[in-house]
Structure formats: C-alpha cells, structure tokens
Structure 1
Amino acid sequence: MCGIVGILGSKPVAEDLIEALRRLEYRGYDSAGIATVENGHLGRRRAEGKLRNLEDRVRAEPLSGRSGIGHTRWATHGKASETNAHPHMSDKVSVVHNGIIENFRELRAKLQAAGHTFDSETDTEAVVHLVTEELKCCGDDPVAAVRSALAQLKGAFALAILFAGHDDLMIAARQGSPLAIGHGDGEMYLGSDAIALAPFTNAITYLEEGDWAVMHRSGMEIFDANGERVERPIMRSSAGLQIADKGNHRHFMAKEIHEQPEVISHTLANLIDMAAGRVNFPDLGVDLSKLSRVTISACGTAYYAGLIGKYWIERYARVPVEIDVASEFRYREPPLPEGGLAVFVSQSGETADTLATLRYCKSQGQRIASIVNVRTSTIARESDAVLPTLAGPEVGVASTKAFTCQLAVLAALAIALGRARGAISAELEQELVGALMEVPRHISSMLSDESVYEALAHDLSRARDVLYLGRGVNFPLALEGALKLKEISYIHAEGYAAGELKHGPIALIDESVPVIVVAPKDELFDKTVSNVQEVAARGGQIVFVSNGESDEVGCDVVAHITIPDVHPFTNPLIYAVPAQLIAYHTAVFMGTDVDQPRNLAKSVTVE
C-alpha cells in the first residue's frame, strides 16, 4: 500500500527522497509528494500519477531543504488528486501517513470548530491540524504535541511528521502499519520498509506496535504506547543486496515468474533433507500428532494457497482444516480447539486483516505459525514459529513466486503433519519429497517456450468474460487463475469448481466465452472432461491445460497447453505457472500496466 520515506540529511534531500520512493513503487500508488524544511519554513511538491510527474515538478520548482519526508499514496479517503496527495501541511506541521484514522470525522469537526480550515478530503489532514492545535497547548513543543495527538487517534497508521523551525527533528509513529528507521553517519532515515532505505544504510531499527520515535541526525529516542522510553535493536538488513532490476525481462512480473525454479528450490531446501528424502520441519511448539484441527487464514492469492494447503493436509495428514479469508474470520470469531495450530499466510507479513486474525487466534490459546516472505515483518514477529518463503522481494503487484513458495511450504507442512500423525509411511514421505524436489526442473522446462501463451493472448484479449474450471485441488487454481487475469488485464474472470458448472455458470457460456480448464490426468480427469464436453456443446471456446492429450477431450479446443507429467501431489505448483503466464501475456498484449495494475496495492496494510 502507501509508502513513507524520511531523511534527516547533511545535504539537500529532495533527490534522495524520490529515489527512496521509487523503491516503494511495488506497493502501488496513484500520487506522490515530498516536503522539506528550508530556512525554517515548510516547502512541498506533489503530483498525481507516477513518480516521474513528481520529478518533473521538483525539477521545475526545486526544494533545497536538508530534512524531508515523502509519500506514495494509494487512495483511501478521497480520490486520487494532487490536493489529496501527501504530504499534508499547515504552516507549522507537515505529515505523511499510511493507514486509516478511523475517528477522523470527529476530529475534523472539532478542529473546524476551533478555526482550522481543511483543504483535502483525506483523513490524514486531521492529523496535521490536530498536531498544530496541540502545539498551541504545549508551548510549541513538538514532542509534547505529538504525544498528546497520538493519544487521540483511533485506527491503524504510520506517521512521519516534520515541523517548521526544526531542521533537525522528525517524529515517527507506528500503530498497525510498519515503519523502519535507518541509521547513517550523522544522518537518519525512515521508511515503510528496509527496501526504501537500502541505498543509504543497512542498519535498521523496526518500530514495534504502538511505538513512536523522536529522530535527530545524531540518533533517536523511542517511546512505547504508554510513553515509556524503550530500546529497540539495530538489525543488519540485506534488502539492498536483494533488490535487482528487471534484467532482460520486460516486466518485474515476468522476471519473478522466471525466478520460480530458483526460489522454490531455496524454499524447499530450507524444509527438506534432500539427501534423506525427508521433511526437516522446524518445531512448531505443539504436538502435531494430537491436533484435532488446523486453522488457516489469509487474503487474496495467499488465501488460495491456503485452500490448496487444506486439500493437502486433509488428504495426507487426515486432520480437518478450517480456512477462511481473514477479513471474514476476524469478525466471525469462531470457537477454536484448545491447543490448536493456526497458520497464517502473507507475502508481506503486514496484511492488516490477517494480522488481526492472528491476534484473535493467539488470544484463544492457539499456537501461531506464519508463512511469510519477510521474516522481520509484524506477522512474523508475533508468531510462535515462522515458516519462511525464500522468494526474495516480489515487486510485481500480482503475486507469482510468493504464491508458489507458499505452496511449497504448505506441501512440506502437509507431509510433516502426515508423518507425525502416522497417516503416511516413511516410503510415501520419500515419494512425496522426491516429487517436490522435481518441481523446479519441471517449471524451468515449462518456461523455455511461451509461444502458446502469446498466441492465446490474442484471443483472450477480445473476451469480456472468461471462466476457469477445476476439480479437487485444482479448484483453488481455477480461482487463482481467474484472479490473476482480472488483476492485470482487467478482463472479468471467474473460477468455479467444475462440478458446479450445471448449477448456474453454464448459463453464461456461448461462443464468445473462453473457458480455461485445469485438468491434470488424475483420478478426476474423466469427470472434468465430461464438464468440458458440456461447455463445447454450448459453443464455449475451450483452453485445455493438461498433461493429457487433446484428443482425449472428445471435442475441439482452441488451445492446448501441454503440462509435464508430474506426481499428482505437486500438480498445484506446476499448474500455477500456466495460470500466471496466461494472465501475463494477455495483459502485455492489451498494453496494461502489468507490474502496477490500477487500483491495486502490493501490501494491504489497512482494512
């Protein structure tokens, strides 16, 4: 979601602020801006759209301040416009903000009654005027003003605040949205994550929930939610080593699709004793043999990974799995078994709904395991055990390599549970592990020729609606394939369980509707083929994704995407790749912004 940066520098910071914001573009945004303190006064430049618009603005109207804050905004309160873009300012205070101030309407009414004039539609501007008002009551003491203001804010937020007349001061606060402080030589930095700060420092302090920090060039003081002085460790970040450009790929999404053989290998190597053919799973702090139920929660693509995990765990470990999207789970407040295991899946480790659900499960006595790509994230830090996906930074908004790495971890978890419960033998464990070890090779072979996807893209680009069908463990893949297509191509797509076709979706099918069928040749293949024939009888345009032969369908297909023969256990990892490539090439052909699709954000850190 939105990105925050801040610099207390030894030279003009405008250029460096923009560079730091560029490293946060992967989060998604619709406007950007910076503000600096210059000769005791606050100066600001903002622009709607991409960062290049802000660069042009700053080039035409330079800012020379040595302390500054910056922001990339994804619209929540108020439309995308320069007026609503951050930073927001009064004559004394400038603020950038991630998250949502839930009580901004009450604050706004109170502040307007006190004589403050609001220029934007945003909740953030209430913070500006609140701190400004508190300055009047606190003898123009910025620290005291922020302390008082924070006590009045309700919601999830990260804040960076500058003050007129204070060139060597920045105050940061974190409640529900991440913030990282970077340490330099006579300089200090602030960012939504370490990636933004990588060009300047690798010495990082992460603020904990409720923390706020008073920063000077010489260092900082951190206070907790109770206003007590606290110490937080300085960590060494490798984010700068991990960030790379697109290489020889046109988009980050393409690069990340092609990175999957490597990153899946890394993820599996962390969980599997490849020599022994066994899962080498970390201690989760709970007796896996006695679990009565596993609870999984996630959002978006991570939720679909969790659905596949449900199929695997129930089949191979013979333990029931409860799964729900986190935004529903957190308000449903279901009863949970004593001593149960709750698993949370999140690429960023900062997903607000997933984090709230985690905290609910923890309050109910559940053991918490998280599958995350950022081991220093809030979800990771609040978990009893972390099962990392070693995907590296995923810049494209539409998740690809993070999804398949999540599947790799869930597959290993299913095997570990199955062995602990005696549901699978040592021989079957070796068979399943061996199948997982082959996945990177099979994916690499599939990525060697993408011509079939390029040709298919021409046909799909003309469609208004696309259906995806799958059975069993392939049903979540149909959901994920549909999500990918609509995320980046903006074509309406829906995924269905193939057996549900006659229960409504078949009414949509005519000669203008492509139907993409995920149909590995498994025990459900013949039933899926029967559904395909029903589609063909109504003129539907069939795209057959299978390791079976197209003549086994018994009808014409417009495209056959041939998949390698693999163990049925690993089908979801293998069949995820064509779903990604179908979406990617269709979006490229249509000319959409593949890496930063409209209205979407990489990390959803507000409800």
Structure 2
Amino acid sequence: MRAQPQSGDLHTTSEIASQPECWRRAVEVAADPATAAALPRRGERVAVVGCGTSLFMAQAYARLREDAGHGETDAFAASEMPAGRAYDRVVALTRSGTTTEVLELLDRLRADVPTTAVVADPDTPVVALADAVVVLDFADERSVVQTRFATTAVALLRAHLGEDLGRVVADAELALAEPLPAGVAERRQFTFLGAGWTTGLAAEAALKMREASLSWAESYPAAEYRHGPIAITDDRSAVWVLGTPPDGLDRQVRATGGLWVARDRDALAELVSVHRLAVEVALGRGLRPDTPRHLTRSVILRGTG
C-alpha cells in the first residue's frame, strides 16, 4: 500500500517556511546599485510579463508601481503582449529562465527596447536574451509549484519602489506560526478576492489551490464578486479576502453559509497562509503538492520559433 505523503517530507513545505528570510534577502538585493540600474526607473513606461504564477506577480507589481507614482505600467502574459506598443523597459519574471513564451518574446524585443529578467537560475537561456538580469538564486525551488520565488520577486520589486517591508516580513512570520482559519481546510470550494494590486495575489491564491490540491478555486476583484460569482457560494465554500474588503460583503457571504476570511495582515503575507492551506488540503486528499499532475517546472514548447 502506498504511503501517504507527510508535510515534513515535502520540498514545498520547507520552501513556504523560508519566505520571510527570502524577503529579507530580497530587500538587501534591492539596495544593491546594480539591481537599481537593472530595474525600472521612476517615470519610465514599463511592461511586465510572465507566465502562470509570474503573470499574477506581474499584475500585482504593475498596479503597485502605478499607485506609487513611478509611471505607467502594464502587465501581460508573455504570449499576449501586443506588438508595436512603445515602452521604455520590459521586465520579465521567470523562475526557470527557460519558459518558451518568455524567451520568444525577449528575442523579438531585442534591439527595440531594454529588457530585464528577474530569474532564479543564472545559468539559463534568458540570461543571454535580456539586457539586464536580477538573480534571486536563494529563492529557487525544487518543487514544481511556485511559492517563495514568486513572493520574493514581489518583495524585491516592492523594496525597489521604496516600501519598508519590516511589517510585511513580520506578518509572514505570523502567517507561518498561527493556525489556519478554523474550518477552512474542510471547505470544498474556494474564492479569493482582491482589490488594486492584491487582485493579482488573489488570482495566484486560486491558482495555488488548483495546482497543489486540485480544488475548485476562483478569484475576482472584490467588488465584482457580487456581480454573479456569489451565486456559487454556499456552506461548502470559503471566501478569503487578500486586502481590505468592501463594506458589507462579509454579511452577504455569511448569509450564503460561506466561511468568510479577512484579516488585518499584509496581502503578500496572507498569500503565505494560502500556500499552507493548499498543502494541507492536498495532503488530506492523498496528493503530493511537490509534483502536481500534468505540470512541469517550466513550460518548454518544442517545434516553436
């Protein structure tokens, strides 16, 4: 009989637990003059691209950068960036540095616009294609499912925008130490809500639940949730807000029988709690979140240009 996986046996578990320390190191990297030279300058018009988890991190950063007054910033899936738009810099987020869509885009952009890659592995093809590279090798992962690299990239970019991440790191340590919300792991449907920059984090939270635990998980801007998606919510559901929820939404969710989760914690740290939830639900279903079905560490397409 096949032994059930245990949390302590997983790369994912140790990678999730290492996030506060990775974020501290990201702050140090952001303070390096070479990093500052590689990342977007105030006033530049910027596009940020990625695939999967990196796309959602790109969306979060794009909104953070605009809200901080650093300049117009768009986020695209690497496969969907429009041709012909004028940017001062394109930033690619890619853990592996081998994702086909990212490499093809950077190759297309060569000589047209300065490019920067934020990557975990410096010995990958993206290094030869990007004009500048920021390496977060200390946040690389053995698990297929991304956790610490993605959040560390956001921590780096937030620090580069001038944020003090002291409270963010402290909140992440609490997210690791405190119990998960009572009853949340027993729910069978999960909806994650965000607003502004946290909309990207909500999308990533839902992706983690789908990848690691094969759960029915969705995400929406919080104000949009009442425009249809609330219809699926019942006593099997959990609705988890990353950020500040709209007034009155908690009462509407509770009226459906859904479990409401909203805490006064930085949204990036709340994502750490969702990482823990994804592992717990996966293990409860006899799954191994290190290696989800149908997924690989990097999407490398054969026969492409």
Partners of 1:317 and 1:281 lie apart in 2 by 20
Q: Tell me if structure 1 keeps the 8 A contact 2:172–2:270.
A: no
SS in 1 for 2:76: strand
> 1:518 corresponds to which residue?
242
Take 1:367 and 1:406, find their aligned partners in 2: how far apart are those partners? 19
CA distance in 1, matches of 2:58, 2:24: 20
Is the counterpart of residue 599 in structure 1 residue 294 in structure 2? yes
Asked if 1:478 is matched to 2:202, the reply is yes
Task: Tell me: CA distance 1:367–1:357, structure 2 relative to 1, closer, same or farther (3 Å).
Answer: same
In structure 2, what is the equivalent of residue 296 of structure 1? 48
Which of 408, 412, 418 in structure 1 is aligned with 2:155?
A: 408
* Residue in structure 2 matched with residue 346 of structure 1 by the alignment: 94
Amino acid at match of 1:486: R
Letter in 2 for 1:252: H
How many angstroms does 1:392 deviate by?
A: 4.0
Determine whether 1:468 maps to 2:192.
Answer: yes
> Which residue of 2 is the match for residue 361 of structure 1?
109
Q: Per chain length, whose mean CA-contact separation is higher, i.e. which structure has more relative contact order (CA < 8 Å, sep 6+)? A: 2
Q: Is the 8 A contact 1:477 1:575 kept in 2?
A: no
| 380-389 or 264-273: bigger deviation | 264-273
- Asked if 2 retains the 8 angstrom alpha-carbon contact of 1:501 and 1:531, the reply is no
Partner of 1:508: 232
- Check the 8 A contact 1:396/1:595 in 2, yes or no: yes
Counting aligned pairs with the same residue, the percent is 25
The verdict on how the C-alpha distance between 1:445 and 1:517 changes in structure 2, with shifts beyond 3 A counting, is closer
DSSP-derived class of the 1:595 partner: coil
Alignment of 1:336 with 2:85, yes or no, is yes
Contact 1:389 1:409 survives alignment (8 Å): no
Structure 1 residue corresponding to 2:212, chosen from 480, 484, 488: 488
> 2: CA distance between counterparts of 1:317 and 1:397?
35
Query: SS state of the match for residue 241, structure 2?
Result: strand
Larger Rg: 1
Give the structure 2 partner of residue 284 of structure 1.
Answer: 38
Q: How many Å apart are 1:383 and its aligned residue? A: 1.1
Q: Number of aligned residue pairs: give it.
A: 296
Show the counterpart of 2:254: 536
Alpha carbons of 1:309 and 1:519: their partners in 2 closer, same or farther (altered >3 Å)? closer
Q: Deviations over 1:401-421 (max 9, x none)?
A: 1111110222134x2xxxxxx
Q: Of Structure 1 and Structure 2, which has the larger fraction of its residues in strand? A: 1
Q: Distance in 1 between matches of 2:22 and 2:210?
A: 25
- Output aligned runs, 1:158-177, within 5 Å: none
Q: What are structure 1's unaligned runs of at least 5 residues?
A: 1-247, 274-278, 416-428, 548-562, 564-570
The correspondence for 1:545, drawn from 259, 262, 281, is 262
Q: Provide Cα deviations, 1:396-438, integer angstroms capped at 9, x if missing partner.
A: 111111111110222134x2xxxxxxxxxxxxx4xx2xx2144
Q: Does 1:249 align with 2:5?
A: no
User: Match for residue 144 of structure 2?
Assistant: 397
Judge conservation of contact 2:19–2:172 (CA < 8 Å) in 1: yes
Distance across 2 between alignment mates of 1:453 and 1:540: 13
Q: Compared with structure 1, are the counterparts of its residues 352 and 407 closer, same or farther at alpha carbon in structure 2 (3 Å cutoff)? A: same
Distance 1:350 1:502 in 2: 39
- The alignment status of 1:439 with 2:163, answered yes or no, reads no
The within-5 A match list for 1:92-491 is: 249-272=8-31, 281-284=35-38, 288-291=41-44, 293-329=45-81, 333-337=82-86, 340-363=88-111, 365-413=112-160, 415=161, 429=162, 432=163, 435-449=164-178, 451-452=179-180, 456-457=184-185, 459-460=186-187, 463=188, 465-491=189-215
TM-score for the superposition, normalised by structure 2: 0.88
Residues 376/536 of structure 1: CA separation in 2 closer, same or farther (3 Å cut): same
Please give the per-residue CA displacement for 1:298-343, whole angstroms capped at 9, x wherever unaligned: 00111111111011110113411121111222xxx422226x1000
Cα distance 1:446–1:541, how it changes in 2: closer, same or farther (>3 A)? closer
Answer 1 or 2: which has greater helix percent. 2
* AA matched with 2:38: L
Distance 1:265 1:317 in 2: 24
d(CA) in 1 for partners of 2:42, 2:191: 40
Partner Cα separation in structure 2 for residue 467 and residue 342 of structure 1 = 31
Distance 1:437 1:595, change over 3 A: same
Give the partner amino acid of 1:436. L
Deviations 1:100-152 (A, max 9, x none): xxxxxxxxxxxxxxxxxxxxxxxxxxxxxxxxxxxxxxxxxxxxxxxxxxxxx
Instruction: Work out whether residues 110 and 129 of structure 2, in 8 Å CA contact, stay in contact via their aligned partners in 1.
Output: no
Secondary structure of 1:411's counterpart equals helix
Contact 1:475 1:496 in 2 (8 A): yes
Instruction: Label 1:446 to 1:535 Cα distance change in 2 as closer, same or farther (>3 A).
Output: closer
Contact 1:305 1:407 in 2 (8 A): yes
CA distance in 2, matches of 1:505, 1:370: 36
Q: Which amino acid is 1:538 matched to?
A: T
Call closer, same or farther: CA 1:370–1:476 in 2, change over 3 Å.
same
Whole-angstrom CA distance in 2 between matches of 1:533 and 1:318: 37
- Confirm or deny: 8 A CA contact 2:53 2:146 kept in the other structure: yes
Unaligned runs of 5+ in 2: 1-6
CA distance in 1, matches of 2:113, 2:91: 10
- Give the letter aligned to residue 599 of structure 1: H
For the Cα contact (< 8 Å) 1:264–1:391, is it kept in 2?
no
TM-score, length-normalised on structure 1? Answer: 0.46
Mapped contact 2:15–2:141 kept (Cα < 8 A): yes
1:585 aligns with 2:280: yes
- 1:469 match: secondary structure: strand
Offset, 1:536: 2.1
- After TM superposition, give the deviation of residue 266 of structure 1 in Å: 1.9
